[in-house]
Amino acid sequence: MRVLTVNPGSSSVKLSVVEDGREVDRVTVGAASAAQARQPLAGLVVRRHPIDAAGVRFVHGGLSTDPVPLDHAETARLTALTPLAPLHQPLSLELAAVVAEIVPGPVYACFDTAFHARMPEAAAHYALPRSWVREHELRRYGFHGLSCASALRRTAELLDREPTGLRLVCCHIGAGVSVTAVRDGHGVDTSMGFTPLEGAVMATRSGSVDPGLLLYLLRSGVTDAAGLDDALDRGSGLAGMTGTGGDVRDVLTARDRGDPDARTAIEVYLHRLRREIGAMVASLDRLDALVFTGGVAEHQPALLAELCERLGVFGVRTDSGRLAAEGDREVGRAPGAVRVLVVSAREGLEIARQTTLAMAARAAGAGGPRDR
């Protein structure tokens, strides 16, 4: 079984071919654009012909719990969700259309929200008027689910445990940032909510902001709804606090030069991350491991050390040598302390896995992959 996987991110598009659970080819397109991805995608398909199916990452799948084949009705449903994930959903839709032109097999949508679909009501419910909640499906959906699923599976391998038996806090730290409590093989609480704006501070996204403050900005005429939407998604976070593009490397460089705004921005970034980690620990009955994944987690060991320095209250202790190493690894140092791991984000493998299971389930007449 050979699956083409398409993973649109905030700043790049990752393309890969996975054969029987092993990645055999990969291309990363530096700019997040369907037009720029077309030629590399076509070349990958020609080079690894034949492709049996394709899986495309969609940040928002609504209430869907399993991958679905993309047809006209499903594409229309996912298009309607664009306002809830404006940085990612349009690109996923454009890329899926390109893939459908190039790949003869079925194209599946794989959802970041699916990992969190079984969150308990206490974690998923907003304290809003019940008529609004019921009519508009207002709930905390959660995101980065494909990354969490991949990290869970890899952590289980490293610790020689069954995935469903682990209690984890999984931190995806990239341009987008989220923290998820994992129990019984799925998310039971998470920092992102109805949209990927809630929770921790990110590269260009604000994270959680007092809704009263936002109402004040609107009522005072500082901005309108469109301006607020753009500012919260594209002009806030590290970018907004520092006047940079929001890349954590640029902010760290500015901090090293003595820029006070950059220093404050990193302090806010780390503080909010620690706060979300604490909240997720409180959603579990025990903590087997704290797991870091995503580009920043993988490539900024000094920043990760800063983050973990103040997590000792949770039994977290890290080793600087292990943090500076490469590859999937444990980075904790104290016997009896919480296991701390850094693992590479393998969303492509998870997309291929879910696509393969979904195809098998449909062929067998079942609903979809339940073994997450």
328 is catalytic: no
Indicate left, alpha or beta for 160 from its phi (over 0: left) and psi (-120 to 50: alpha).
left
Number of helices (H), then strands (E), in the chain: 15, 12
Whether omega for the bond prior to residue 83 falls within 30 degrees of 0, making it cis, is no
Q: Yes or no: say if 164 and 109 are a contact pair by the CB < 8 Å rule.
A: no
Instruction: Give the list of residues 6+ apart from residue 187 with CB closer than 8 angstroms, or none.
Output: 115, 116, 118, 119, 142, 145, 148, 180, 181
- The one catalytic residue in 112, 189, 233, 288 is 112
Q: Torsions phi, psi of 223, nearest 5? A: -155, 170
DSSP-assigned beta bridge partners for residue 7: 14
**Measured between alpha carbons, how far is residue 335 from residues 7, 10, 120, 316, 340 in Å?**
38, 38, 33, 11, 12
Residues 48-74 as b/e (b if ≥16 CB within 10 A, e otherwise) read beebbbbbbbbbbbbebbbbbebeeeb
Which amino acids are annotated catalytic? 112
